[in-house]
């Protein structure tokens, strides 16, 4: 594998350099969700679950998760959540303390940026109200993923969402990992189902023959199946973004530490599938990072998976100058963007408009955002950061326009409104104004 890794290093001196960059962007876009013929299995799940509901989900849970559950076994009881929390509290008190601090960090940040707390909510022409019921997708793994619950449920709570539903595949002893369940209990999220995948998305979107009530919005990260199902259910529910398999783009110059850059690339590659890309204007740094990757990957417990991800979705690209890198980075629109350019890091970061989250400087690896800093780690992938944003408390509210005219205000505007309505051929619109003036 190490000998093959040299293939991920490319240089602007190569005649096909631009083509390789464009091909990489397209590959990462496709990694985030299915398209065309690839979508057929997802459409089959959508049709089946929409009609058969819980029965179909039980069938898919057996097929994909290899767990046999009756529909009345989908939901975990509050007692089971409490038991998981008590177990963590006794066995891992320091872990629970870290979880509580992470929750506080996220809550503080989300409260600060929440638009409904700002002056805008005092404007008489608009009113913000929370979404009533929200579904959260937590990816399934043998290892726990408590951070995903924190990064999705806390922003929803800050926004005032009353009903939060968590779904996650039964990948840990035919259930959900107790650490994940303990975070649900810590946050007073008690409607938790051990189902996942595209089938859970469809069930939450509203289906026949199910005991699970429809949600109004579905959020959370997941694989291609989950993200494609979310995308196809828009209109039945709202969604946050296409938060697919993880990706990082690191922008670095000769001032960067090659060992640190390599470590940050591997931190995303180990997600499997995760993508890790370096854009630099230093050929020397590019070669040093490649050397570090070859050495560091040997130390990983998931070395084989990380190596495959680097081969499939990784790249070290040596550009001619930083201006070209900034242009390419904005076209990439990565989920995570790290800027490791010494004293120039902040200025370079200001020129990046398209990114889910930007990590500035040598001491801001993606892991800080994944667990601790406060912004949600649920971010748009596959170039969708050009039009989607990081999940925040503001994604869990709706804005309602408020219009209130009195007699004098309407009289002052009547002729203009009538004129505009009549030019559009909408005489009834015009008459709804005119009749009030005549009376």
Active-site amino acid positions:
335-336
Q: Is 263 exposed, middle or buried (0-12, 13-18, 19+ CB in 10 A)?
A: middle
Distance CA 415, CA 278 (A): 61
> First and final CA of the chain: distance in angstroms?
84
Q: Are 296 and 266 in contact (CB under 8 A)?
A: yes
Bridge partners, 94 (sequence order): none
Distance CA 178, CA 175 (A): 9
CB atoms under 10 Å from CB of 312, counted, come to 15
What is the distance of C-alpha 164 from the center of its chain?
17
Closest CA to 264 of 242, 243, 247, 284: 247
Closest CA to 151 of 348, 344, 400, 370: 370
Closest CA to 300 of 330, 325, 270, 273: 270
Bridge partners, 218 (sequence order): 135, 239
Those residues with Cβ within 8 angstroms of residue 399's Cβ, 6 or more apart along the chain or in another chain:
126, 127, 128
Report DSSP state, residue 215: P
Name the phi and psi angles at 267, rounded to 5.
-65, -25
The 3-state DSSP class for residue 339 equals strand
Q: What share of the chain is helix, strand, coil (3-state, %, to 5)?
A: 55, 15, 30
């Amino acid at each position: 594998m190490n000998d093959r890794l040299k293939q991920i290093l490319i240089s602007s001196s190569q005649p096909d350099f631009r083509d390789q960059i464009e091909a990489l962007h397209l590959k990462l876009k496709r990694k985030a969700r299915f398209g065309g013929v690839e979508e057929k299995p997802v459409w089959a799940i959508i049709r089946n679950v929409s009609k058969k509901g819980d029965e179909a989900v039980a069938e898919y849970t057996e097929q994909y998760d290899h767990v046999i559950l009756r529909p009345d076994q989908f939901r975990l009881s509050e007692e089971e959540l409490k038991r998981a929390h008590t177990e963590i509290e006794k066995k891992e008190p320091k872990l629970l303390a870290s979880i509580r601090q992470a929750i506080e960090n996220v809550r503080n940040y989300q409260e600060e940026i929440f638009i409904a707390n700002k002056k805008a909510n005092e404007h008489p022409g608009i009113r913000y109200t929370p979404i009533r019921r929200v579904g959260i997708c937590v990816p399934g793994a043998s290892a726990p993923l408590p951070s995903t619950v924190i990064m999705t449920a806390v922003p929803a709570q800050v926004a005032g969402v009353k009903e939060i539903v968590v779904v996650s595949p039964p990948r840990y002893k035919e259930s959900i990992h107790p650490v994940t369940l303990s975070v649900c209990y810590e946050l007073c999220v008690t409607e938790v189902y051990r189902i996942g995948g595209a089938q859970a998305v469809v069930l939450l979107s509203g289906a026949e023959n199910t005991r699970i009530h429809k949600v109004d919005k579905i959020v959370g990260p997941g694989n291609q199946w989950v993200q494609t199902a979310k995308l196809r259910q828009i209109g039945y529910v709202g969604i946050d973004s296409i938060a697919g398999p993880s990706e990082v783009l690191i922008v670095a110059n000769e001032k960067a530490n090659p060992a640190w850059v390599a470590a940050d690339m591997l931190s995303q590659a180990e997600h499997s599938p995760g993508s890790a890309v370096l854009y630099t204007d230093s050929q020397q740094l590019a070669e040093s990072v490649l050397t570090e990757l070859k050495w560091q990957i040997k130390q990983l417990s998931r070395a084989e998976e990380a190596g495959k991800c680097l081969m499939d979705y990784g790249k070290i690209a040596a550009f001619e100058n930083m201006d070209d890198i900034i242009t390419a980075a904005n076209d990439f629109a990565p989920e995570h963007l790290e800027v490791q350019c010494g004293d120039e890091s902040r200025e370079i970061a200001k020129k990046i408009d398209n990114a889910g989250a930007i990590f500035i400087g040598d001491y801001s690896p993606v892991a800080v955002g994944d667990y601790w800093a406060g912004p949600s780690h649920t971010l748009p992938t596959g170039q969708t950061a050009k039009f989607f944003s990081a999940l925040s408390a503001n994604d869990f509210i709706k804005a309602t326009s408020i219009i209130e005219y009195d007699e004098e205000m309407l009289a002052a505007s009547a002729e203009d409104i009538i004129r505009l309505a009549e030019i559009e051929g909408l005489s009834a619109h015009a008459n709804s104004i005119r009749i009030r003036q005549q009376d």
